[in-house]
């Protein structure tokens, strides 16, 4: 079930909220658990059992880890948890990738399993791992209530595509959380903003990419326009989903951490990854990079650590070589920035640093979006004039005129300009009063506009379902 669907907006969510807030406090987690299981079952019925079994494994391993503390075999349950959780993720997500590559290397003809990727498995697997590792480290208390733990793992706001919510973030709120009109209002407003980013901006930008794949009269300029529109599309698609998840969590009393912080304002690739998909970056930092020694090692070992983390980051995104190359591409850039160009970037004018960052991000998202390595190389050749195509033509200009204003709006929307403008207005009492009147009207209009898009049956993919 998509958040950006009529079924979710006008059936599932309203019914759930009525039942949830009319129920006694002791039943609220159970209601969220049942609702989350139904939410998942609606879109992925045969893999609900897998998710419940993964939750059961995480729950049992947490108890085992807690019981084994101080013993000679204290690491055994942790290792078991990692092997089982990663093993399930590897089997369902990467088996066919390995079969395909074994066939290619050894000239075999092994049949792929053609497994359907369980939606959200990359996210809930990492949540289970963060819990068992934190219990082992003593950073989290063991959860002894199986239903409360399964509620954490299956919690529908962040189940499908994150953000990756660590158990320590919601540990107290699983049993003691407050509900207020202020939180409800914030949650609804944040959800509508995220919904608008997804439906009005991301979906519309996605239409341009869809058109590009079908036309024959491609140009160098069109390749660059589509690269830019895809970069903006995936930002609004994913950050919009994160906004919706954070908003929904707040409605039910949970305070999820932010997942995006205007990443396209970055002046370096290093800064970009502090602002983009924050929950994933901090997960790999705390559970892979730092345990390997982080940056408190020799230069050679630090480069090894960076390569390992970014190989895994790329591979986490998908079972294709272009995702691995995408991750290693960032590893190389980060090493280059640290040892060769950090000082240069700091001395450059800010707008030059921004141009540098956006250029390399554009290339990265071409790698990310490629249909395998062949498709990626085709797109890069098109961008840099190696396909014997013109720089521009009337078809490109037609679509540039049609989508140019949308792209400009998206570029402005990806910065903090709108937020800064509103903050200036609310800096005085008259402005604050004006915003308090206009804000609910604006959100109602946006909800109606989003509904109109959905009723119209507009292009409505969600990119991170692949992961």
Active-site amino acid positions: 317
**Contacting residues for 61 by C-beta, under 8 A, at least 6 apart:** 77, 78, 80, 81, 84, 132
* Rounded Cα–Cα distance for residues 198 and 3 (Å): 10
**Contacting residues for 182 by C-beta, under 8 A, at least 6 apart:** none
* Rounded Cα–Cα distance for residues 443 and 435 (Å): 12
Residue 185 phi/psi, 5-degree rounding, is -65, -45
Cβ distance 416 to 262 under 8 Å?
yes
Asked, as a colleague might, if the bond just before 357 is cis with ω within 30 of 0, I would say no
Q: Pick the closest to residue 228 from 402, 378, 417, 410 (CA basis).
A: 410
| HEC per residue, 417-460 | HHHHHHHHHCCCHHHHHHHHHHHHHHHHHHHHHHHHHHHCCCCC
* Rounded Cα–Cα distance for residues 197 and 437 (Å): 22
Cβ distance 277 to 260 under 8 Å?
yes
């Amino acid at each position: 079930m998509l958040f950006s669907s009529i079924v979710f907006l006008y059936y599932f969510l309203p019914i759930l909220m009525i039942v949830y807030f009319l129920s006694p406090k002791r039943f609220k987690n159970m209601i969220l658990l049942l609702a989350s299981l139904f939410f998942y079952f609606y879109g992925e019925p045969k893999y609900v059992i897998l998710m419940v079994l993964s939750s059961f494994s995480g729950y049992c391993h947490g108890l085992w880890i807690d019981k084994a503390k101080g013993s000679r075999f204290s690491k055994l349950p942790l290792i078991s948890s990692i092997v089982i959780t990663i093993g399930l993720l590897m089997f369902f997500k990467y088996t066919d990738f390995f079969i395909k590559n074994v066939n290619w290397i050894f000239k075999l003809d092994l049949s792929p399993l053609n497994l359907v990727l369980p939606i959200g498995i990359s996210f809930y697997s990492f949540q289970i791992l963060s819990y068992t590792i934190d219990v082992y480290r003593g950073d989290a208390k063991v959860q002894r209530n199986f239903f409360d733990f399964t509620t954490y793992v299956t919690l529908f706001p962040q189940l499908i595509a994150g953000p990756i919510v660590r158990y320590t973030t919601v540990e107290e709120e699983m049993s003691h959380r407050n509900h207020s009109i202020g939180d409800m209002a914030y949650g609804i407003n944040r959800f509508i903003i995220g919904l608008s980013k997804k439906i009005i901006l991301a979906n519309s930008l996605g239409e341009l990419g869809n058109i590009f794949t079908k036309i024959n009269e491609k140009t160098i300029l069109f390749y660059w326009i589509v690269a830019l529109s895809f970069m903006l599309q995936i930002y609004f698609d994913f950050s919009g989903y994160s906004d919706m998840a954070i908003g929904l969590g707040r409605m039910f009393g949970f305070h999820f951490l932010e997942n995006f912080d205007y990443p396209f304002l970055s002046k370096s690739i290093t800064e970009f990854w502090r602002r983009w998909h924050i929950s994933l970056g901090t997960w790999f930092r705390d559970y892979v990079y730092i345990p390997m020694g982080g940056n408190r090692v020799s230069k050679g070992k630090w480069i090894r650590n960076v390569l390992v983390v970014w190989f895994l980051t790329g591979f986490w995104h998908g079972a294709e070589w272009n995702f691995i190359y995408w991750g290693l591409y960032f590893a190389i850039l980060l090493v280059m920035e640290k040892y060769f160009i950090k000082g240069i970037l700091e001395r450059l004018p800010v707008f030059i640093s921004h141009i540098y960052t956006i250029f390399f991000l554009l290339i990265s998202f071409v790698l990310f979006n490629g249909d395998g390595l062949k498709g990626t190389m085709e797109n890069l050749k098109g961008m840099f004039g190696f396909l014997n195509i013109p720089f521009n033509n009337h078809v490109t200009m037609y679509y540039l005129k049609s989508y140019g204003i949308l792209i400009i709006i998206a570029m402005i929307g990806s910065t903090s300009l709108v937020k800064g403008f509103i903050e200036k207005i609310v800096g005085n009492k008259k402005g604050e009063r004006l915003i308090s009147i206009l804000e609910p009207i604006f959100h109602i209009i946006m909800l109606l506009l989003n509904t109109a898009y959905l009723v119209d049956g507009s292009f409505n993919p969600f990119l991170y379902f692949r992961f």
